[in-house]
Structure 1
Amino acid sequence: MASIGIFYGSSTGNTEAAANIIQSRLEKADVKNIAGISSMDELTKYDLLILGSSTWGLGDLQDDWEVQINNLKKLDLSGKKVAFFGTGDQASYPDTFVDAMGILYDAAAETNASLIGAWPVDGYEHTESLAVRNGKFVGLALDEDNQADLTGERITGWVELIKKN
C-alpha cells in the first residue's frame, strides 16, 4: 500500500474539513496542516501527496501555502504522484474559483511528480479558473458556500478516481 500524505492550508476550516473527509475515504493517510510542518522535505516521505488549498480574494493562494510555495517548487518528487483539491466560492468569485488549486498544480509541475486526479467541470457555475486545464479541473473543486450538499458525493467519486491511478 502506497503511503499517502494529505497537506492542506485552511483559514476558515473548510479545506481542513475536506482534508479530513478525504482521509476518511482512504484506507490510511496522514493529514497535516501545511502551517504545522517543520520542513517541506516532509512531503518526500509519501508515495502519493494530496495537496489542498482554499482560494482567497481575487484568486490568491491561502496564506500558509503562500509562505511555502517556493519551497514546494524546489522539491524533487520524481516517482511520486500528486493530486489536488481546492475550496472556493463560485458565486461570489466566479472568475477566480479555486485558482489556488491551479497555483499549487503549477508549482508541483516543477517537481517531476506525476500529477493525477483531474475532475470534470460539469455541475459547477464558475466562469473562469486557473485550475481548469484541457476542459477539466486539475483536481477536486469544492464549494462549501454554494454547493455543500455535493461535497460528500464529490469527494467519494474523486477518491475512487485517484485510487485507480
Structure 2
Amino acid sequence: MKAIFYATSTGNTEEVANKINDNLEGFDLVDIASDGVDKMNDCEVIIMGISTWGEGELQDDWEDCFDDIKEMDFSGKKVALFGLGDQESYGHEFVDALGIMYETLIENKAEIIGKTSTDGYEYEYSRAEVDGEFAGLVIDEDNQSDLTDERVENWCNKITALF
C-alpha cells in the first residue's frame, strides 16, 4: 500500500497533498485528523505532509498522533516528506516541523527519500536542513506560491524513480 498522510489547519497542506497525489499513481490520500496514522503500518511507501506552526512546532493534528509515530517501526518503509512554512516571517525556524518528523523517522529506521536543495529559499535556520539539503520537499505558499506547481512536479518525478 502507498499513501499520502497529511494534516491541515488552513487548507494549504491539503492543497499540496492533492497536487502531489495528482502527480503520482496508486496513492491513497489520508487526512490524519479524521483517519489517524494506523494505516502507516500497512504501507510500504509513505508520504507525509507537515506544516510548521508556532515557534517551529508540529501542526496540532500531527502533534496529537506524534507519540504513536514515535512508537512505530518504519523498517523496510520508504518515506518521503513535504513541509510547508513561511521563510520571511519565520526564517529562524523555517519548516522545523519537517525536521522534527525527519529526526523521528530516522530513529525509527525509515528510509527517507526525496531530499531537496535549499537553493531558492532565504531563511536564517531550519531544523529540516540536513547535510546541506532539506529533508524533503519544502513549500512556501505565503511567499513563493508561484513556484509550488513546478516544485511539486519536479519532486514527484524524483521520488517516483526511487519507489
Q: What is the TM-score of this pair, normalised by structure 2?
A: 0.96
Question: C-alpha displacement at 1:18, in angstroms?
Answer: 0.4
In 2, Cα distance between equivalents of 1:153 and 1:33: 24
How far off is 1:164 after superposition? 1.6
The answer to whether residue 42 in structure 2 is matched with residue 45 in structure 1 is: yes
Task: Output the amino acid matched with 1:7.
Answer: F
Deviating 4+ runs (over 3 angstroms)? none
- Alpha-carbon distance between aligned partners in 1 of 2:31 and 2:107, rounded to the nearest angstrom: 22
Q: Which residue of 2 aligns with 1:72?
A: 69
Letter in 2 for 1:75: M
Does residue 6 (structure 1) correspond to residue 30 (structure 2)? The answer is no
Give the Cα–Cα distance (whole angstroms) in 1 for the partners of residues 158 and 7 of structure 2. 23
Does residue 1:106 correspond to 2:103, yes or no?
yes
Match of 1:116 in 2: 113
C-alpha separation in 1, matches of 2:124 and 2:158: 25
Specify the alignment match of 2:20 in structure 1: 22
Indicate if the aligned counterparts of 1:69 and 1:107 stay in contact, CA closer than 8 A.
no
CA contact (8 A) 1:84 1:140 kept: yes
**1:55 lines up with 2:52 in the alignment:** yes
Q: Specify the code of the residue in structure 2 equivalent to 1:132.
A: E
SS of the aligned residue for 2:120 comes to: coil
Share of identical aligned residues, percent? 49
User: 1:110, CA displacement in angstroms?
Assistant: 2.4
How many residues are matched? 162
Shift in Å at residue 49 of structure 1? Answer: 0.3
Tell me the alpha carbon deviations over residues 97-131 of structure 1, each in whole angstroms, 9 at most, x when there is no partner: 11111111112112222111110000011111010
2-structure distance, mates of 1:44, 1:157: 28
Q: Measure, in 1, the Cα distance between the counterparts of 2:50 and 2:76.
A: 23
Q: Which amino acid aligns with 1:158?
A: W
Give the CA RMSD over aligned residues: 1.0
The unaligned stretches of length 5 or more in structure 2 are: none
TM-score when normalising by structure 1: 0.94
Distance 1:57 1:73 in 2: 21
Task: Show the counterpart of 1:90.
Answer: 87
Shift of 1:138: 0.1
